[in-house]
Amino acid sequence: MVVTPWEVSGKIDYEKLIEQFGTKPLTDELLRRIEKHTGQLHPQLARKIFFSHRDLDWILDCYEKGEKFILYTGRGPSGDIHIGHIVPWIFTKYLQEAFDAKLYFQLTDDEKFLINPDLTAESVLSLTYENALDIIAIGFDAKKTRMISDMKYAKVMYNVAISIAKHVTLSTSKAVFGFKDSSNIGIVFFPAMQAAPCFLESIFEKRNVPCLIPAAIDQDPYWRISRDVAPKLGFYKPAQIHCRFLPGLGKGGKMSSSIPETCVFTMDSPEVAEKKILNAFTGGKSTKEEQKKHGGQPDICSIYQYMYFLFEPEEGKLKDREAKCLSGEIFCGECKEILAERVGKFLIEHQRKREKAKDRIDEYFIKD
């Protein structure tokens, strides 16, 4: 398996990632502590879609002592948004509401300009705008959300990034991110830009403010650098909570824009999404008779995964679907149709909110 900010491939063993990355599993005890403050657990917590963390216990210690934390997450605008991207954003919105937290949302247009030979500065800024509409459509509170375009907000970001970069050697950067001699020097500097928002609130407020970063685990390498540098600059180490990857609609692998037929984009029409879903890989048997006799395999079924991650929030109904699949009582076509209908409804509603976001975009972005 390969899990880096720029590549996720192979069969992902999440237990092994915890070991390799040196993070901690999200324990039931931590979940109970969160539940005490939020009233109920978000399905992404209850189902351990968020499965790993760094210092989440410390964030809760601070909160319980009355010290509020900020949230920080982001997007690299390299193309259209797919429904895998929104998994951590839906969760971030829940945390924003549950803990009344301010959120920094970074759009790393500089990163995508530097790493993608086909993107011009102009095209990447246009993607920043388009992606921002999807982000706003998730429903973040405008009064408590500060969005950042690295390229447009460079005056502030650059100055924070250079103070971070000064403490990161080339050999560390190579070891953490796998940069090569052929990598351009911009991308070698870039991790300092992604580390910068961890400390923005502390800088603006002129006091240390705890920071919690919800994201999938591919972004973890950035936080290793941020956590190393933080004490050298007098800041708290940023804490993280990591999620698993929503798989694509094909056989195995994370949802990826590079295989569009297995990927539901937020701007797909319900008809296009339905077509992709009807063609999806499932854990079903090749005939109805076989399915009745031996049952299906929800553990490898992409349709079931979609229900699990996003489209069946009710635990009882999810369990029921799983049991009926295992016992051969339901067939793949049925599940596909139900999912297609739910995804279609979601897309229509998301696209409506995205359209409305066009009038509100200025409320969200930080300006000089």
SS3 at position 54: strand
Taking the complex as a whole, the smallest distance from the CB of residue 143 to ligand TYM amounts, in Å, to: 21
Residue 178 per-residue DSSP state? -
Question: Is 224 a residue that touches ligand TYM (CB under 6 A)?
Answer: no
| x/- map, 245-274, ligand TYM, by CB under 6 A | xx-------xx-------------------
Site of tokens 């560390």: 172
Taking the complex as a whole, the smallest distance from the CB of residue 247 to ligand TYM amounts, in Å, to: 7
Question: Is 102 a residue that touches ligand TYM (CB under 6 A)?
Answer: no
Q: Which is nearer to ligand TYM, 5 or 284 (CB)?
A: 5
Taking the complex as a whole, the smallest distance from the CB of residue 295 to ligand TYM amounts, in Å, to: 27
Q: Which of 124, 133, 216, 225 binds ligand TYM (CB under 6 A)?
A: 216
3-state helix, strand, coil in the chain (%, to 5): 55, 10, 30
Distance CA(141)–CA(126), nearest Å, equals 23
C-alpha distance from residue 21 to each of 59, 222, 224, 352 (Å) = 20, 11, 9, 39
Question: Is 218 a residue that touches ligand TYM (CB under 6 A)?
Answer: yes
Question: Is 23 a residue that touches ligand TYM (CB under 6 A)?
Answer: no
Taking the complex as a whole, the smallest distance from the CB of residue 321 to ligand TYM amounts, in Å, to: 21
Site residues (CB under 6 A) for ligand TYM, limited to 45-84: 72-76, 84
SS3 at position 59: helix
Site residues (CB under 6 A) for ligand TYM, limited to 163-202: 194
Taking the complex as a whole, the smallest distance from the CB of residue 132 to ligand TYM amounts, in Å, to: 12
- In Å, how far from its chain's centre is CA 194? 15
**Contact (CB, 8 A) for 103 and 96:** yes
Q: Which is nearer to ligand TYM, 108 or 149 (CB)?
A: 108
**Contact (CB, 8 A) for 221 and 172:** no
Taking the complex as a whole, the smallest distance from the CB of residue 199 to ligand TYM amounts, in Å, to: 13
Q: Which is nearer to ligand TYM, 73 or 266 (CB)?
A: 73
Q: Which is nearer to ligand TYM, 17 or 330 (CB)?
A: 17
| x/- map, 276-305, ligand TYM, by CB under 6 A | ------------------------------
**Contact (CB, 8 A) for 113 and 124:** yes
Task: Locate all alpha helices (DSSP H) within 180-262, ordered by sequence.
Answer: 185-195, 197-205, 220-229
SS3 at position 105: strand
Is 64 exposed, middle or buried (CB count within 10 Å of its CB: 0-12, 13-18, 19+)? exposed
CB atoms within 10 A of CB 15: 10
* C-alpha R_g of the chain: 21
Please give the size of the binding site for ligand TYM, defined by CB under 6 A: 24
Question: Is 219 a residue that touches ligand TYM (CB under 6 A)?
Answer: yes
- Residue closest to ligand TYM (Cβ): 76
For residues 213, 318, 98 and 360, what is the CA-based torsion angle, rounded to 10 degrees?
80
**Contact (CB, 8 A) for 158 and 152:** no
Beta bridge partners of 258: none
Taking the complex as a whole, the smallest distance from the CB of residue 238 to ligand TYM amounts, in Å, to: 10
Part in contact with ligand TYM (CB under 6 A); list of ranges 136-144, 243-251, 264-272, 332-340? 243-251
By residue count, the chain amounts to: 368
Question: Is 87 a residue that touches ligand TYM (CB under 6 A)?
Answer: yes
**Contact (CB, 8 A) for 326 and 295:** yes
Q: Which is nearer to ligand TYM, 285 or 350 (CB)?
A: 350
Question: Is 310 a residue that touches ligand TYM (CB under 6 A)?
Answer: no
Q: Which of 3, 5, 135, 304 binds ligand TYM (CB under 6 A)?
A: 5
CB atoms within 10 A of CB 177: 20
Question: Is 111 a residue that touches ligand TYM (CB under 6 A)?
Answer: yes
Residues in contact with ligand TYM by the rule CB under 6 A:
5, 72-76, 84-85, 87-88, 106, 108, 111, 194, 213, 215-216, 218-219, 243, 245-246, 254-255
